């Protein structure tokens, strides 16, 4: 992975249990995940299973087109039933080592191994536009803030096409959105922005630091929150903010409903680092809990 600059702490305000805590000036997460994501994978044979196909779709909200990966359950072609759907970001890294520069999630192999009854839609990240697409508010240093357009593409263009082309269960209870790092941030934001669409969220190593104050403001205006959320991070991600940020958001979620409903789960993996290995090894448990 590329080298990162040494980070300096900035002065922080007094901590509050309902607020995500103050940021560091420089962030290893952004440098490792967002910038290095753009490199091409080494040429090799595809490792995607036969249930994985792709198509390209115009994204008018983004003024671009998107490659989309589709995973279908093993029994899809011999069944007439409908399936829940998981929408996942950074589609290059989900199914195929050929397109994953730093290792894939093995989503297809994992789901095949447990005969999972779910459709997965992987959405291509935007290359040098990834930061903009996956962040709801601009960061003073890194820019961004175009997630509303990205989510509008998913909700208004991609999901209708998926629901028309495949046998899906279309309601929020059966629609999940999942991602890691900035993908974890935008997945949680999607639950706030479109609660009627996304009833489940997989929030891995979320980069809440990117727009902490704006996200706090949105949460403060949110009166109800019914989404089922699986929070996950490692305790060795190279960023001291990850766990406090995650726990602050979890605390807010718990103020919106009784913990007795068990609609959210927090997992902190000992030794877990901010990489595909952590997310790959955690995906199965997250899926099984969410569904």
**Alpha helices of 35-174 — where are they, by DSSP H?**
107-113, 130-133, 147-152, 159-165
> Does the predicted TM-score (pTM) go above 0.75?
yes
SS3 state at 51: coil
Q: What is the pLDDT of residues 194-211, one digit of tens each?
A: 999 999 999 999 999 999
The DSSP secondary-structure symbol of 43 reads P
CA 144 to chain centre: 16
- Whether the CB-CB separation of 249 and 216 falls below 8 Å is answered with no
pLDDT (tens digit, 9 = 90+) per residue, 152-175? 999 999 999 999 999 999 999 999
Helices (H) and strands (E) in the chain, counts: 9, 8
123 near 88, Cβ under 8 Å? yes
Token pair listed for 142: 């890194």
pLDDT band for 28, please (50, 70, 90 cuts).
low
Parallel, antiparallel or unpaired: strands 228-234 and 175-180: unpaired
pLDDT band at 6 (very low <50, low <70, confident <90, very high): very low
The pLDDT > 90 percentage for the chain reads 80
User: pLDDT category, 11, cuts 50, 70, 90?
Assistant: very low
- Residue 175, beta-bridge partner list: 85
pLDDT at 34: 52
């Amino acid at each position: 992975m590329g080298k990162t600059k040494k980070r300096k702490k900035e002065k922080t305000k007094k901590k509050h249990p309902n607020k995500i805590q103050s940021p560091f000036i420089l962030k290893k997460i952004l440098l490792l995940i967002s910038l290095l994501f753009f490199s091409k994978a080494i040429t090799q044979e595809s490792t995607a299973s036969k249930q994985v196909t792709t198509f390209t779709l115009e994204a008018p909200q983004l003024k671009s087109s998107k490659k989309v990966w589709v995973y279908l359950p093993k029994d899809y072609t011999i069944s007439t039933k409908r399936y829940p759907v998981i929408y996942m970001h950074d589609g290059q890294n989900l199914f195929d080592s050929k397109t994953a520069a730093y290792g894939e999630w093995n989503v297809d192999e994992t789901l095949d191994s447990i005969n999972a009854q779910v459709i997965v839609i992987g959405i291509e990240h935007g290359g040098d536009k990834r930061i903009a697409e996956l962040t709801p508010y601009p960061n003073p240093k890194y820019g961004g803030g175009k997630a509303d357009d990205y989510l509008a593409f998913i909700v208004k263009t991609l999901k209708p096409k998926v629901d028309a082309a495949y046998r899906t269960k279309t309601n929020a209870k059966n629609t999940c959105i999942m991602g890691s790092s900035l993908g974890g941030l935008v997945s949680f934001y999607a639950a706030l922005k479109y609660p009627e669409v996304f009833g489940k969220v997989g929030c891995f190593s979320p980069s809440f630091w990117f727009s902490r104050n704006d996200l706090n403001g949105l949460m403060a205006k949110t009166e109800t929150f019914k989404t089922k959320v699986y929070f996950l991070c490692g305790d060795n991600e190279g960023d001291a903010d990850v766990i406090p940020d995650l726990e602050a958001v979890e605390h807010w979620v718990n103020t919106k409903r009784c913990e007795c409903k068990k609609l959210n789960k927090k997992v902190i993996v000992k030794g877990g680092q901010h990489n595909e290995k952590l997310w790959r090894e955690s995906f199965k448990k997250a899926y099984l809990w969410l569904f």
